[in-house]
Amino acid sequence: MSNWTDVASEAELFEGAGIAITPEGHDIAIFKLEDGVYAIDNVCSHGNAKLCDGFMDGHLVECPFHQAMFDVRDGSVTCGPATEPVKSWPVKIENGRVFLQLID
């Protein structure tokens, strides 16, 4: 089952900033980079902070609470204090719409 869900218009996304969405109860942040659109869990794995509010530096987002850094392309931690990655979600763009594959 593909389970692709329409979550946003591509026009809502701006390079260097994230937006928060909550499809099917999942708290997810979507980021537009020069090379594509990426989606990761919106809550930092270290503390209860929203990554969509974090500072972007290239493909990295900085947690606004304790400055942990995550790669928005795959959710990996690139700088502590966080040690656990956040989930990344498959993304596709079709006809100007952003779709996520909501698989657990």
Instruction: Express each pLDDT in 15-36 by its tens digit.
Output: 989 999 999 899 999 999 999 9
pLDDT in tens, 42-66: 999 998 899 999 999 999 999 999 9
CA distances from 42 to 12, 56, 59 (A): 17, 14, 15
Tokens 């990761």 belong to residue: 40
pLDDT at 47: 87
